[in-house]
Structure 1
Amino acid sequence: MAYKSTNPYLEARCTFVLAKLALIGAPDEEDTTYEAMIEAQCLGHRDAEVSADTGETIDCSLFFADVPELQREWMFGWNQYFEMREMEECGSCNSGNPCPIHG
Structure 2
Amino acid sequence: MILEAVILQVKQGMEEEYEEAFRQASEIISAMKGYISHELQRCMEVKGKYLLLVKWETLEDHTVGFRQSTEYQDWKKQLHQFYDPFPTVDHFEKVHLS
TM-score by length of 1: 0.28
Q: Which has the larger radius of gyration?
A: 1
Relative contact order higher in (CA < 8 Å, ≥ 6 apart)? 2
Q: Which structure shows the higher helix fraction?
A: 1
Q: Which structure shows the higher strand fraction?
A: 2
